[in-house]
Chains A and B, each alone.
With several copies, the nearest count.
Chain A
Amino acid sequence: MSVCVDKSTKVVVQGITGREGNFHAFHCKEYGTQIVAGVTPGKEGEEVAGIPVFNTVKKAVEETGADASLIFVPPPFAMDAVLEAIDAGIRTIVCITEGIPIMDMVKIRMVVKAEGVTFIGPNTPGIITADEAKLGIMPGFIFKKGSVGIMSRSGTLLYEVVDQITKSGLGESTALGIGGDPVTGTDFIHWLKLFEEDPQTKAIFIIGEIGGMMEEDAAEFIKSNVKKPVFAFISGRTAPPGKRMGHAGAIIMGGRGSAETKIKALREAGVTVVENITEVGKTVKEKVGKG
Chain B
Amino acid sequence: MIRLHEYQAKRVFLSYGISVPTGYVAFSPDDAWKIALEIGPPVVLKAQIHAGGRGLAGGVKIARTADEAKEIASQILGKRMVTAQTGPEGIVVKRLLVEEAVNIDKEIYFSIVVDRRRCKPAIVASPAGGMEIEEIAKLHPEQIITEPIEPIAGIMPYQIRRLCDFLGFNNNREEATHIFTTLYRIFVEKDCRLVETNPLVLCKDGSLIAIDAKMSIDEDALFRQKDMARLWDITQSDPSELEAQKHKLSFVRLNGNIGCMVNGAGLSMATMDLIKLHGGEPANFLDVGGRATPETIAKGFEIILNDPSVRAILINIFGGIVRCDRVAEGIIKAVRQVKVNVPVVIRLAGTNREEAMDILKKAPFKFSVMDDLNEAAKEVVKLAKGV
A155 and B320 form a contact (CB under 8 A): yes
A102 and B156 form a contact (CB under 8 A): no
Expressed in whole angstroms, the minimum distance between the Cβ of A120 and any Cβ of chain B is 15
Given contacts A249-B114, A251-B144, contact A106 B223 (CB under 8 A): no
Docked CA distance A81–B161 (Å): 12
Docked CA distance A125–B319 (Å): 12
Interface check B133, CB cutoff 8 A: yes
Interface size on B, residues (CB 8 A): 74
* Residue numbers in B under 8 Å from A87 (CB-CB): 148, 158
Docked CA distance A55–B166 (Å): 13
* Residue numbers in B under 8 Å from A155 (CB-CB): 264, 266-267, 290, 320
A156 and B263 form a contact (CB under 8 A): yes
* Residue numbers in A under 8 Å from B351 (CB-CB): 139, 141
Interface check A91, CB cutoff 8 A: no
Nearest residue (CB) in B for A76 is B223
Expressed in whole angstroms, the minimum distance between the Cβ of A265 and any Cβ of chain B is 14
B220 and A101 form a contact (CB under 8 A): yes
Expressed in whole angstroms, the minimum distance between the Cβ of A248 and any Cβ of chain B is 4
A111 and B150 form a contact (CB under 8 A): yes
* Residue numbers in A under 8 Å from B12 (CB-CB): none
Which residues of B from 338 to 381 have beta carbons under 8 Å from A?
349-351, 372-374, 377
Docked CA distance A104–B320 (Å): 27
Expressed in whole angstroms, the minimum distance between the Cβ of B112 and any Cβ of chain A is 8
A103 and B218 form a contact (CB under 8 A): yes
Interface check B132, CB cutoff 8 A: yes
Chain B 72-90, CB-CB to A under 8 Å as 1, else 0, gives 0000000000000000000
Interface check A131, CB cutoff 8 A: no
Chain A 104-119, CB-CB to B under 8 Å as 1, else 0, gives 1111011100000000
* Residue numbers in A under 8 Å from B56 (CB-CB): none
Docked CA distance A101–B222 (Å): 9
Which residues of A from 141 to 176 have beta carbons under 8 Å from B?
141-142, 152-160, 163
Question: Which stretch from B98-106, B202-210, B268-276 is at the chain A interface?
Answer: B268-276
Expressed in whole angstroms, the minimum distance between the Cβ of A213 and any Cβ of chain B is 4
Expressed in whole angstroms, the minimum distance between the Cβ of B295 and any Cβ of chain A is 16
Interface check A198, CB cutoff 8 A: no
* Residue numbers in B under 8 Å from A106 (CB-CB): 114, 119-121, 151
Interface check B1, CB cutoff 8 A: yes
* Residue numbers in A under 8 Å from B191 (CB-CB): 101-103
Docked CA distance A84–B161 (Å): 11
Docked CA distance A145–B113 (Å): 42
Expressed in whole angstroms, the minimum distance between the Cβ of A55 and any Cβ of chain B is 8
Interface check B14, CB cutoff 8 A: no
* Residue numbers in A under 8 Å from B377 (CB-CB): 278
B264 and A156 form a contact (CB under 8 A): yes
Chain B 203-239, CB-CB to A under 8 Å as 1, else 0, gives 0000000000000101011011000000000000000
Interface check B321, CB cutoff 8 A: yes
Interface check A235, CB cutoff 8 A: yes
Partner of B218, one of A102, A159, A217: A102
A156 and B52 form a contact (CB under 8 A): no
Chain A 60-79, CB-CB to B under 8 Å as 1, else 0, gives 00000000000000011101
* Residue numbers in A under 8 Å from B158 (CB-CB): 41, 56-57, 80-81, 83-84, 87
B320 and A251 form a contact (CB under 8 A): no
Nearest residue (CB) in A for B353 is A139
Docked CA distance A102–B152 (Å): 14
Docked CA distance A278–B223 (Å): 40
17 contacts between A and B (CB under 8 A): A20-B321, A55-B165, A76-B224, A79-B153, A101-B224, A102-B220, A105-B119, A106-B151, A209-B265, A235-B270, A237-B269, A243-B252, A247-B133, A249-B193, A251-B137, A252-B113, A252-B146
The 10 tightest CB contacts between A and B, nearest first, are A154-B266, A156-B264, A157-B266, A278-B374, A101-B221, A156-B267, A235-B269, A84-B158, A235-B270, A236-B269
A interface with B by C-beta (< 8 Å): 20, 41, 55-58, 75-77, 79-81, 83-84, 87, 98-107, 109-111, 125, 137-139, 141-142, 152-160, 163, 180, 182-183, 207, 209-214, 217, 233, 235-240, 243-244, 246-255, 275-279
B interface with A by C-beta (< 8 Å): 1, 52, 111-117, 119-122, 124, 132-134, 137, 141, 144, 146, 148, 150-153, 156-158, 161-162, 165, 188, 191, 193-194, 196, 216, 218, 220-221, 223-224, 252, 254, 262-267, 269-277, 282, 285, 290, 318-321, 349-351, 372-374, 377
Beyond the given A275-B277, A277-B373, could you list 4 further A-B residue pairs with CB under 8 A, ordered by the A residue number?
A101-B221, A101-B224, A248-B124, A276-B277
